[in-house]
Each structure stands twice: as structure tokens, then as C-alpha cells.
Structure 1
């Protein structure tokens, strides 16, 4: 995320995802200090309470922890916690609906694998459908 927000998700969730993405891609690792609430407010130009809501959800998940008067830090094993959550979300948001649509269309796993290969090739500029 580059400081721009979209209207597809609540802002606090986008803030939460922005921090989570940095932990998942290892820009932030265990015990790294994350940007302060004020820094995030300034970066995204949003309300302090909105930022606090996203950050507090990560605290509640055990992904980050607060040191009073010092700041917020990435918790131990935060990346694995987030990956587990994201995989579960991926299954519910993408895989289940895809399987339902495959069934409606009469597609097999082989058909799906072929489509995946076509899309992967397309993304690398090799082939178009």
C-alpha cells in the first residue's frame, strides 16, 4: 500500500492489512518497532481512532505488542500467525466460491489446473486466452 486507500474495505481493515503485509513480506520482523499511530495517521491522512482500531485488532490477535511510552512492536511468531489467518481467509473467500463455480460449469480439477497454467503464462507475457 502506498498511502492510498480504497472504498472496497473499511479503512481500519486496510491499515491492519498494511501492517500485516509488512510482517508477512518480512519488511518488519519479530521485535521490530512498527510506525506509531501518529505516523500512520499522517501517512494515510485518516482519523486517529480509525488507525487505533486497526492496530488494536493486531494487538488483540497477538501480532503486535505495546510497550508503554516506547511504541508498538512485532510479536514473536507474528508472521506465522498472520499466514495461518490469511490461508484460512483465502480458503473461505476464494477457494470455496471457486469450487462452487467449477461445479456449476462442470469443470474438473484438470480443467482448473489448465486454466491456472494459462493465467500464469499470461501473467508472464507468454500467451493470451
Structure 2
């Protein structure tokens, strides 16, 4: 499950975010405890705790004292909004800048996207 491209705690956080985005984890659903997560994936509990704390800090998870960690009710919508913003900043904005630089009218881009959508 884990690779060497980024720290394990970040990979854990990204996996949980992906599960929230996909709907595999729903709002107010309890997630595994840090100890359960550590035992299941055979990692240091401190690593799992760091990932969970990051998700709490980002508002993806919340703690119920004495009970455990749960998915925030608005987490999916907030993660989608963040991904949309990143998509436009990382993909669309540079594409539009490149199109302008090489003289492609934006209408042609929209037309091409419409064609791709119809053929998908």
C-alpha cells in the first residue's frame, strides 16, 4: 500500500481522503483507531496518529472523546471543492495560457471538450 514517494503519514491521510471522496467513508462514519490502523498496516502507531491529526487539523475527521475518530459531515463537499480549485489551477489555467500563447481560440477548446464528452 505504501511507496517511497512521500511520507507514510501523508499517504495514509491521502488514502482516507480518497475514501471520503469516493463515498467509501461517509460523513459521521467512524474510522479505525490509530492503533487498529497501525496494526492492520503494520506501521508505527505514531505514524498513524500523525496522519489522523493532520486530518483533524484539516477538518476531514473529528474526535469524539472516549469513542474515536469520525468523518466530518462536510468533509466530502470540502474535499471536492479543494480538488476543483486545484484542478483549475493545475490543469485548466495553464491550458488556457498555453492556448492563448499559440493562438487557439478558447471557443475551439470548449468545442473539443464537448466532442470528447459526446464520445465518452
Instruction: Tell me whether 1:58 sits opposite 2:55 in the alignment.
Output: yes
Q: Aligned-pair RMSD on alpha carbons? A: 2.7
Question: Any idea what SS the aligned residue of 1:32 has?
Answer: coil
Question: Any idea what SS the aligned residue of 2:69 has?
Answer: strand
* Structure 2 equivalent of residue 75 of structure 1: 72
Cα pair distance change 1:11/1:96, threshold 3 Å? farther
TM-score for both structures, normalised by structure 1: 0.70
- Per the TM alignment, residue 43 of structure 1 is displaced from its structure 2 partner at its CA by 4.0
Instruction: Tell me whether 1:31 sits opposite 2:56 in the alignment.
Output: no
Aligned length: 119
- Does structure 1 conserve the Cα–Cα contact (< 8 Å) formed by 2:62 and 2:70? yes
**What runs of 5+ residues in structure 1 fail to find an aligned partner?**
125-129
- Per the TM alignment, residue 102 of structure 1 is displaced from its structure 2 partner at its CA by 3.0
TM-score for both structures, normalised by structure 2: 0.74
**What runs of 5+ residues in structure 2 fail to find an aligned partner?**
none
